[in-house]
């Protein structure tokens, strides 16, 4: 469960745009990858393009509203409405809360928030983590995973 905490924190910071620093975009240019994300010189400074995986302000508000209004059984997950903030930080959550967020909540709501390429990656990661944490799994399940995820 502890690795799910790290995954979930990093996913949230990434889709909130908290990891898009100017230094990172300069590194992209230095490496010669993703030219659409390079800093662009304009009169009086630079323009920093927004990546496709970063949520817009409306999408962030929608996600926070969904998490705030989420109804769960008592004792299932701690009160998420008190744990989220406007900058995407999920403060005070326990490992079990991140576990539930990755396996039950995040992949469901990504269908409504992101474009297909970005959400597919997050949804597949959530499905893999769910299978890793299941009590019973066989190699046959892992072999057929590719066919089950074709619709994403």
Q: What is the DSSP string of 51-114?
A: PTTSPPHHHHHHHHHHHHT----TTTS--GGGTB-TTS-BTT--HHHHHHIIIIIHHHHHHHHS
Q: Give the lowest-confidence range in 13-17, 35-39, 88-92.
A: 88-92
Q: Over range 70-99, report the average pLDDT.
A: 74
pLDDT at 62 over 60: yes
DSSP per-residue codes, 1-32: -HHHHHHHHHHHHHHHTTT--HHHHHHHHHHT
Query: For the segment 112-125, what is each residue's pLDDT rounded down to a tens digit?
Result: 778 888 888 888 88
User: How would residue 108 be classed by pLDDT, with cut points 50, 70 and 90?
Assistant: confident
> Could you tell me the pTM of the whole model?
0.74
Mean pLDDT, residues 26-37: 88
Report the chain's mean pLDDT, rounded to a whole number.
Answer: 78
What are the b/e assignments for 72-98, b being 16+ CB within 10 Å?
Answer: eeeeebeebeebbeeebebeebeeebb
pLDDT in tens, 123-136: 888 888 887 777 76
């Amino acid at each position: 469960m502890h690795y799910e905490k790290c995954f979930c924190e990093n996913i949230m910071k990434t889709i909130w745009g908290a990891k898009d620093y100017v230094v990172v975009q300069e590194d992209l240019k230095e490496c010669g990858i993703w030219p659409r994300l390079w800093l662009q010189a304009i009169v009086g400074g630079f323009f920093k393009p927004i990546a496709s995986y970063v949520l817009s302000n409306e999408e962030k508000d929608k996600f926070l509203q969904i998490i705030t209004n989420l109804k769960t059984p008592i004792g299932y997950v701690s009160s998420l409405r008190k744990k989220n903030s406007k900058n995407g930080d999920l403060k005070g959550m326990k490992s079990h809360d991140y576990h539930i967020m990755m396996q039950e909540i995040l992949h469901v709501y990504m269908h409504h928030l992101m474009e297909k390429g970005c959400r597919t990656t997050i949804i597949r990661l959530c499905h893999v983590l769910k299978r890793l944490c299941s009590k019973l799994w066989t190699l046959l399940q892992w072999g057929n995973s590719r066919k089950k995820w074709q619709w994403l």
